[in-house]
Structure 1
Amino acid sequence: MSDTAFDIVVVGGGPGGYVAAIRAAQLGLKTAVVEREHLGGICLNWGCIPTKALLRSAEVHRMMRHASDFGLSADNVRFDLDAVVKRSRAVAGQLTKGVTHLLKKNKVTVFDGHARLKGGGALAVTKDDKPVADLTAKHIILATGARARTLPGLEPDGRLVWTYKEAMVPPAMPKSLLVIGSGAIGIEFASFFHEMGAETTVVEVMDRILPVEDPEISAFARKAFEKQGLTLHTATQVKALEKGEDSVTCTLEGKDGNTAKVTVDRVIVAVGIVGNVEDIGLETTKVEVDRTHVVTDDWCRTAEPGLYAIGDLTGPPWLAHKASHEGVLCVERIAGVADVHPLDTRRIPGCTYCHPQIASVGLTEEKAKAAGHTVRVGRFPFMGNGKAIALGEPEGLVKTVFDAETGELLGAHMIGAEVTELIQGYAVAMTLETTEAELMHTVFPHPTLSEMMHESVLDAHGRAVHF
């Protein structure tokens, strides 16, 4: 066992933790990371990255099935599920090795084990209940992340009822599947399994799917998904799961009280997350926990001096890029970097990598009005864009929301091909406090999907050219 003093110790090596550690090391601070499982965290190992690899396989599979639409032929299209999963795991493994290399390159000390606060800037690191190290630090950053939420009576068992982990390494493709929850995680898994041939049902307790998105985008998505053949139940709860030998019978209850039973091969539970606040020694601190998440101020400080928290352990939005940004601003504030600003969560883009893709940033039209803004809204359909038609992706919509008095861009909401790449244009515009005037005067390249971003802005003033 070793005893070591550091300027900063980061607890958790996910996209918030490892980025914070690297930035701290760049700033000349003696830094350590404690990680109990895999560097890269859930995002690189069981979340953002491997799911995108699975969805890419589904996308290629879909394109092959529709090869004739492009004047091509692909006979007897099939897939090898083991190979699809193996590729996904290899992608995750490659990136985890990359994180290990980056930490070593930046001279960050990595401890393999579980960290527990002892008070007074001290931590004990253990592995398999055996002591690894006693650490002290002037500043400790908690980046322990979160895990899948479970509901009473709907607990995953790893065989018939899955969390995201089991859903990413299925031993066989189920013929039928029910997904509980229609947020980004639920919809992405529904999209993957449906594209690969599973009869897929999604159940959402709210009155619309993708409830954090603009209602207009949610409605567009619902039509697109149902056209593809997904079954969607909104304003519906899963009241019970009755497990058979190799199937699950799900009791669904609508808000009118009527019930129905659906029998499927497998169930995926995707009903949100809970913060990993247990067994890290928070009881030795003044830290406040609100519904499993640590409360912080604008600089990621907790109520305990010298103790900080970032990422999924803290408040929404629970996104990897938010965690990384928090890690950087937290460390830079500690180091006294001059040009550091609190994070404005309204400017954080969110993406869902289903088909069609969905992306948004800022306020929805509904929330903008509720906040007291008089709004001006622009829309442009993919059908009016030459590149979208050439790609064979004519279904989609770009929607922009402006303050009618100041011209401020309040929000942007998109559904369609590659919108997860396009949304950053609006995110940059919001960060620069760009108004509709600058966006209208910006020259967009042709032919590109990005032209729709321009046309949507023009439409807010009744000036759209191609629709």
Structure 2
Amino acid sequence: MAHHDLVVIGGGPAGYAAALYGAGAGLDVGLVERHKLGGTCLNVGCIPAKELLETAAVFRTIGHAEQFGITTSAPVVDFAKSQVRKQSIIDTLVGGLGSLLKGRKVTVYDGNGSLQADRSVQVRGGSSGDIDLTGDHVLLATGSAPRTLPGFDIDGSIVMTSDEFLSLDRIPESAAIIGGGAIGCEFASMLIDLGSEVTLLEYLPRLIAGADIDCSKVIERSFKKRGMAIKTGVAVTGHELQPEGGTRVSFGEGETVDAEIVVMSIGRAPVTHGLGLAATNVQVDGRGFIVVDENLRTAEPNVFAAGDVVDTAQLAHIGFAEGMQIIKQILGEPASPIDYNTVPWCIYTHPEVAFAGMTEEQAKEAGFDVVVDK
């Protein structure tokens, strides 16, 4: 049985940030990853999305070249080739991360990690074989997976989540995007720029509901100007596959839209299945998040949790901050709780959106005297 000062379960931003910071400070660190190093952000999130958004941006720019006095032929997108470039970028970054971990002498275990009693961790089902570990401290950083709606079985060709969408080798003629948050708006912006007919369906009264209402208005106005159909304040009730291909999505009060693909972008759920926990004091709330205090400690002594598996904003830079804050505690360094009210957000639509802190509405609700300058 191998022993480490710290065992990290999960190799995404929170996990690898903690592993690198801890190992750099002299801790003996073991990191367990069941899939690929880098987690959602690097493999099926931030990085691939930004590469494909850049493809759309280049296509959009070339399409307006004549306005700048540049004569070109009509641009054609080879989306499969763009996917090759995307995967090359991912592979390079994953390889670089592996080299960083190796350079810091972090022991990486391939397999599913589950927490048992007394901070022991079982590693099963991977190329590392069946291994049992123990740690003075354990960090649970198993990340998240896309949420879906009842009745929408993911087949990867017509009905898909962000995971499958980011591996498409074609530009669909039409798409129904379910969810008008950051992910849904980025995908919708990408597809409309690439020439797809896009319908964006959102349950809440406006797009990007977490941003200031002025941001939502700018995005909605831009989307509509580019030909996108936007339906806010509507519930999606189901879909029916069509004999000629694609599917018909039902929403609102008897409305429907036909689309070649449907993309579920209604948020992400924490991944705790298979993590063990039954023999520990670690608690999970009603939505599946691991319960932690302001210092990211669980109810099990010396067991922490961070990243998408806890109920904080699911952003890579928050994962980094949480992982590093945990290491500071382990090292006995000053570690103030993270102020989540000042975290910056960036949404890579066209136009891009960025914000931090309270919205105007939130500030007024909190009792502040708000002055708006535009």
- Alignment TM-score > 0.5, same fold: yes
Q: Deviations over 1:201-247 (max 9, x none)?
A: 10000000111111111112111110111110000111111012421
The equivalent residue for 2:337 is 342
Gaps of at least 5 residues in structure 1 are: 380-467
Q: Deviations over 1:97-132 (max 9, x none)?
A: 111011011110100111111110101101259943
Instruction: Give the 5 Å matches for 1:29-428.
Output: 29-127=27-125, 131-245=129-243, 246-253=245-252, 258-290=253-285, 291-338=287-334, 340-379=335-374
Deviation of the 1:363 alpha carbon = 0.0
- 2:56 partner SS: helix
Q: Percent identity?
A: 38
Paired AA for residue 324 in structure 2? V
Query: Within 1, Cα distance between the matches of 2:129 and 2:50?
Result: 37
Deviation of the 1:155 alpha carbon = 2.9
Equivalences, count: 372
TM-score, scaled to structure 1 = 0.78
Query: Within 1, Cα distance between the matches of 2:130 and 2:89?
Result: 30
Paired AA for residue 19 in structure 2? A
- 1:351 partner SS: strand
8 Å CA contact 2:8, 2:19 repeated in 1: yes
Query: Within 2, Cα distance between the matches of 1:297 and 1:342?
Result: 10
Query: Within 2, Cα distance between the matches of 1:369 and 1:55?
Result: 35
Query: Within 1, Cα distance between the matches of 2:212 and 2:323?
Result: 29
- 1:377 partner SS: coil
8 Å CA contact 2:110, 2:127 repeated in 1: no
Deviation of the 1:150 alpha carbon = 1.2
Deviation of the 1:374 alpha carbon = 1.1
- 2:134 partner SS: strand
Deviation of the 1:171 alpha carbon = 3.1
Gaps of at least 5 residues in structure 2 are: none
Deviation of the 1:76 alpha carbon = 2.0
Between structure 1 and structure 2, the one with the greater Rg is 1
Query: Within 1, Cα distance between the matches of 2:204 and 2:154?
Result: 22
Paired AA for residue 310 in structure 2? T
Paired AA for residue 252 in structure 1? F
8 Å CA contact 2:111, 2:128 repeated in 1: no
Query: Within 2, Cα distance between the matches of 1:296 and 1:243?
Result: 43
Structure 2 CA distance for partners of 1:242 and 1:16, relative to 1, 3 Å:
same
Let me know the Cα RMSD of the aligned residues.
1.2
Paired AA for residue 284 in structure 1? A
8 Å CA contact 2:83, 2:169 repeated in 1: no
TM-score, scaled to structure 2 = 0.97
Query: Within 2, Cα distance between the matches of 1:128 and 1:362?
Result: 42
